[in-house]
C-alpha cells in the first residue's frame, strides 16, 4: 500500500489504538477515528474524530466509503478483576466484538467505494489451552469460551467480502507503559508482593507495544491476509515472566497466587490466566517482519524505569 492512505480506525483511543493512530498520522496517513467519545489524544491535522455508536447502523457507515482500509481494535476488556463472566458480561464481551465487527463488515460491503483492506482484532485466546504445544496460525481453535468467541469474532470480520483483504490480528499479552498487562502487575511487583500464578508452568505469549503497532502497520502495508499472530518470537512460562519482571524491578517475585484463589476471586475468567499458549509468530517472520523486542528481557529493559 502507499504511504498516504486514508484509514478508518475503530477502538483507536485504547492502549494499542492510541499509539497506532499516532504512528499512522506521523508517517503521512489520514485517520478517521470512529468512537463513542470525543477524546482526542493526538490533536493532529491528519486525525478526524467522528462520534458514532457502532453497535447499530447509522450515518457512520458512510464514512467507511472511500477509505483505503479499516482497522478494528474494539472490544471490552476480557479480564477485569471487578467483573466476573456472568451471562450479562459474556453477552457484552461478545457484542463488543462480534456484533460490532459484523456491523463494520456490513458497512464495508455496502460502501459505494469499498476499502481494499480490513484488519480486525482477534486474540491468541482463539487457540484455547494447549500445554507445551508450539502453536502457529494453522492450529485449530479451542473449545472453551474464549476460543469460541474468537471463532465468531473472526467469522464476522470475514463477512467483509471476498474482494477485501482481511487480516485477523491474534494478539498476545501486550506489554507497554500506561496500561496493558503491566498496568495491574507493576504495583504488586514494585512492592515485592508479585509472583507467578497457578503452577507457573503455563506458557505466556507476549508482545511489546512497539511491535504490536509495528506488526499492524506491517500487515497493512504488506496486505497480509488471514490469521496473523501478534506475539514475540520467544514466549515464556509464567514462572519465567514473574522472575524477569521481578529482576527488572530489582524486587523479589516470591508470592505465588494459587489457582484456587484466583478462581475464587475471578470465577470463570481465571481460566484465561491459567491457559497455556505457546504461540509463535510464524507468518510475521515469513512475511519479513523484524521484531524490535524479540526477547522478554530486552522488552522489560526498555519499559521499566530503573
CA distance 282 to 259: 31
pLDDT tens per residue, range 215-238: 999 999 999 999 999 999 999 999
CA distance 253 to 247: 8
Does residue 193 register a pLDDT over 80?
A: yes
DSSP state of 247: H
**Do 111 and 69 form a contact (C-beta atoms < 8 A)?**
no
**Quick one: what percent of the chain has pLDDT higher than 70?**
98
| C-alpha grid cell, residue 27 | 508517517
Q: Which of 47-56, 240-249, 282-291 has the lowest mean pLDDT?
A: 47-56
121: which strand partners? 169
- Mean pLDDT along residues 16-33: 96
**Do 176 and 236 form a contact (C-beta atoms < 8 A)?**
no
Q: Domains along the chain?
A: 6-303 (3.40.50.720)
- Mean pLDDT along residues 284-300: 97
Does residue 2 register a pLDDT over 60?
A: no
Q: Where are the alpha helices (DSSP H) in 111-208?
A: 145-158, 182-190
CA distance 115 to 1: 12
pLDDT tens per residue, range 180-189: 899 989 999 9
Going by pLDDT thresholds of 50, 70 and 90, the confidence category of residue 162 is confident
Between the two ends of the chain, the Cα-to-Cα distance in Å is: 40
CA distance 179 to 209: 10
Does residue 278 register a pLDDT over 70?
A: yes
**Residue 48 parent element (H or E):** strand 47-51
Amino acid 97: pLDDT: 95
Going by pLDDT thresholds of 50, 70 and 90, the confidence category of residue 1 is low
Question: What pTM was computed for the model?
Answer: 0.95
- Mean pLDDT along residues 7-19: 95
CA distance 218 to 289: 7
Residue with cell string 471476498: 162
Q: 123-151 burial by CB neighbour count: b if 16+ within 10 A, else e?
A: bbbbbbbbeeeebebebebbebbbbbbbb
Phi–psi pair at 9, nearest 5 degrees: -125, 130
pLDDT tens per residue, range 146-157: 999 999 999 999
Amino acid at each position: 500500500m502507499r504511504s498516504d492512505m486514508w484509514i478508518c480506525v475503530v477502538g483507536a483511543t485504547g492502549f494499542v489504538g492510541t499509539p497506532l493512530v499516532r504512528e499512522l498520522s506521523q508517517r503521512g496517513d489520514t485517520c478517521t477515528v470512529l468512537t463513542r467519545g470525543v477524546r482526542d489524544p493526538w490533536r493532529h491535522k491528519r486525525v478526524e474524530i467522528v462520534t458514532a455508536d457502532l453497535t447499530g447502523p447509522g450515518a457512520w457507515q458512510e464514512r467507511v466509503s472511500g477509505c483505503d482500509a479499516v482497522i478494528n481494535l474494539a472490544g471490552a476488556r476480557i479480564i477485569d478483576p471487578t467483573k466476573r463472566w456472568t451471562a450479562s458480561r459474556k453477552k457484552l464481551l461478545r457484542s463488543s466484538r462480534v456484533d460490532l465487527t459484523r456491523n463494520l463488515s456490513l458497512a464495508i460491503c455496502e460502501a459505494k467505494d469499498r476499502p481494499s483492506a480490513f484488519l480486525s482484532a482477534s486474540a491468541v485466546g482463539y487457540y484455547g489451552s494447549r500445554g507445551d504445544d508450539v502453536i502457529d496460525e494453522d492450529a485449530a481453535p479451542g473449545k472453551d469460551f474464549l476460543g469460541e468467541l474468537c471463532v465468531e469474532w473472526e467469522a464476522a470480520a470475514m463477512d467483509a467480502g471476498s474482494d477485501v483483504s482481511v487480516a485477523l490480528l491474534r494478539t498476545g499479552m501486550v506489554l507497554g507503559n500506561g496500561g496493558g498487562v503491566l498496568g495491574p502487575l507493576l504495583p504488586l511487583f514494585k512492592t515485592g508482593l508479585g509472583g507467578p500464578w497457578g503452577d507457573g508452568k503455563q506458557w505466556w505469549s507476549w508482545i511489546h507495544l512497539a511491535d504490536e503497532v509495528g506488526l499492524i502497520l506491517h500487515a497493512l502495508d504488506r496486505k497480509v491476509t488471514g490469521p496473523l499472530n501478534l506475539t514475540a518470537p520467544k514466549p515464556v512460562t509464567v514462572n519465567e515472566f514473574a522472575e524477569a519482571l521481578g529482576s527488572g524491578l530489582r524486587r523479589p517475585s516470591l508470592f505465588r497466587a494459587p489457582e484456587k484463589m484466583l478462581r475464587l476471586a475471578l470465577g470463570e475468567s481465571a481460566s484465561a490466566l491459567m491457559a497455556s499458549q505457546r504461540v509463535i509468530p510464524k507468518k510475521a517472520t515469513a512475511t519479513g517482519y523484524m521484531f524490535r523486542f524479540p526477547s522478554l528481557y530486552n522488552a522489560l529493559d526498555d519499559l521499566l524505569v530503573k
